[in-house]
Amino acid sequence: MAKCAFLGLGVMGFPMAGHLRANGHEVRVWNRTSARARSWQAKYGEGAADTPQQAVAGADVVMLCVGEDKDVMAVIEAMKDGLRSGMTVIDHTTASPDCARAAADELAKLGVHFIDAPISGGQSGAEAGTLSIMCGGEEDVFERAEPVMQSYGATITRLGRVGAGQTAKCVNQICIAGTLLGLAEGLRFAEAAGLDAATLLQAIGGGAAQSWQMDNRLLTMAERKFDFGFALDWMRKDLGIALDAADAMDVALPTARSADAHYEALQQQGHGRLDTSAIIKALDGAG
């Protein structure tokens, strides 16, 4: 079993760190809001550290699950003095490929290995321990880290060197945004034509249009309920990363840009904490 540090106990990180503990790993945690770390300690019975440096001291593997690029680099800076050569840092934050490479370069100066490993599956996947994890890093480093990540990941895939995991997460978010926009348009069309959403799902949910989003969000979208899963604020952050990368590669992403524009409008209306299926609200009343 490994000695682990987990930094960042949001809705994803809190249960992920718990799965590490349940699988017999030694775990020390840190969170920017210390009460969250104390709550984790009360539930799982292990140490909450006061600083990132304290959290990582003596660890074999360090996991990050924070907000965005600047948070990744700030936490790496704060924990530097607790790191030692040979350790592995696994970053589960959805950040940019450039951030992943910058983090890897910074840690390499200390002899510390790095894997960018963004996750997909939402809060429910984190709680169930069934996340999909997209990884970038050296193959031997990945092979040593994979058994630890199996504590909370059902599908763990190395796609290439550092940055490849974050690039794959961009693809993931591009596909989700496009699927939700298509689902929203299809549902609005069905509603205008007088079709019942539940009967519609029964009719088309087993065919070529089927998707996770259709199975899990079509009926709640029809009811205009948007308190499930991933907030559109975070989707906008993720799409921003993808769109910036696309600009750098001169790749057109018209559907992702359209979805992003709808999400931006919803943010401006104060709906940023609604889940991503709220994109249908941007189409309501559009004729």
Contact 102, 73 (CB under 8 A): yes
Number of domains in the chain: 2
139 found inside a domain: yes
Give the tokens for residue 115: 């894997």
Both 80 and 201 in one domain: the answer is no
Strands (E) in the chain, as ranges, are 3-7, 26-30, 61-64, 88-91, 113-116, 119-120, 131-136, 153-160
Q: Which of 141, 144, 148, 85 is nearest to 115 (CA)?
A: 141
| C-alpha to C-alpha distance for 230 and 232, rounded to whole angstroms | 6
Task: Calculate helix-pair angle for 164-193, 212-222, nearest 10 degrees.
Answer: 40
pTM of the model: 0.93
Verify that 232 and 271 share a domain, yes or no.
yes
Residue 136 domain boundaries:
3-160
Regarding whether 140 and 28 lie in a shared domain, the answer is yes
Would you place residue 1 in the very low, low, confident or very high pLDDT band (cuts 50, 70, 90)?
Answer: confident
Q: Are residues 149 and 171 in the same domain?
A: no
Of the three residues 145, 160, 175, the one that is the final residue of a domain is 160
pLDDT at 287: 43
Residue 286 pLDDT class (50, 70, 90 cuts): low
* Domain CATH number, residue 42: 3.40.50.720
Note whether 87 and 208 are same-domain residues: no
Question: Are both 263 and 194 inside the same structural domain?
Answer: yes
**Domain membership flag for residue 148:** yes
Q: How much is the average pLDDT of 148-160?
A: 98
Residues annotated catalytic, as ranges: 169
